[in-house]
Structure 1
Amino acid sequence: DLIAERFDVAIRLGSLADSRYRAALISRFTILPVAAPQWLARHPVSSLESLAQAEWIIHERLPTPLRWTVTNNHGQHSRLEISKAGKISVDSARSLMAFALAGSGVALLPQWLVNTALEDGTLIHVLSDYHFPRQGIYAVYPDARHVSTKVRAFIDFLRSQWDCGEHAPSL
């Protein structure tokens, strides 16, 4: 709770639900469905239908982790309704990645977090012809009539320094 803890600003990734706060978009990042090669060898995924039927490792903090609109390389949109909610549900991207690396199923993770695992082959980008909606990186602060000068300066600094590429921020 930003107000009770007397924080000026917090950084949040993904979508925001709490209306007691204001949010400033800093940047966006790409999320990818990934799985370990050993899992994919046992459960091949070759279509959106097979992806919908796959065993997913669920990220609890996503507002709709089982429903997505994905876009193919031709710009066509498709609805992906995940019908097989996983037995594993976590609340951090690092835990999600650990379960994916262990071969527990498909996980939806930030590209900057999985780049090394994709390069070394310990994770595979599943159905790379389809793209999930980019997610936001927000500076979140208490809802007040006026934004303080220090909060505004910090948000402006983040925006000016943020690398909009697909790797971790380097502030």
Structure 2
Amino acid sequence: MDWVILNEKILNGKRGISELIVVVLLIAFIVVVGTLIFMFASESFLEESQKSSDRSTAQDICRSEVKIRVGKIKDSEDFFAIEIENLKERTLNDFLVRYERDADVEIKKAAQVLNGYEKVNVKVEKPSFQPRLVKVIPQIILEDELETGEMGWWLCSGQTAVYTL
């Protein structure tokens, strides 16, 4: 009898140890999963805050360092020659030209580098309709100002120059 009671105590003791091991492994698994989730969340939060900071920096640069004026637009057969003047020191890298007439809208890209305080005629493809309004949106390249990358571009839509035909 003593032998049966002794075996039962040993088996119950082993059963308690195996349950303890399962609980410890479960806790370790939960801690590892929680740590991975925390690391992923904090990394994505940091990246999003840096992107937000870059957006804010780009908007500040556009407000303070970018200003253009459209002098005149010459109508050629298959393109418009748009006279664009850079009124600030910052170099402008490209332009988006938005043509509008009532509900019709077309956007064309004009690849032209325009240094500070320069005036240049930019050739831009004509739209499929005769526009009444031409909006020129400058684009800048950001390099040293960015936190998330080495280089990026930004459209300064707040500095749009408007010309009525």
Shorter-chain TM band: under 0.3
More strand by share: 2
What TM-score does the superposition give when structure 2 sets the normalisation length?
Answer: 0.28
What TM-score does the superposition give when structure 1 sets the normalisation length?
Answer: 0.27
More helix by share: 2
Structure number with greater Rg is 2
Q: Which has the higher contact order (CA 8 A, sep 6+)?
A: 1
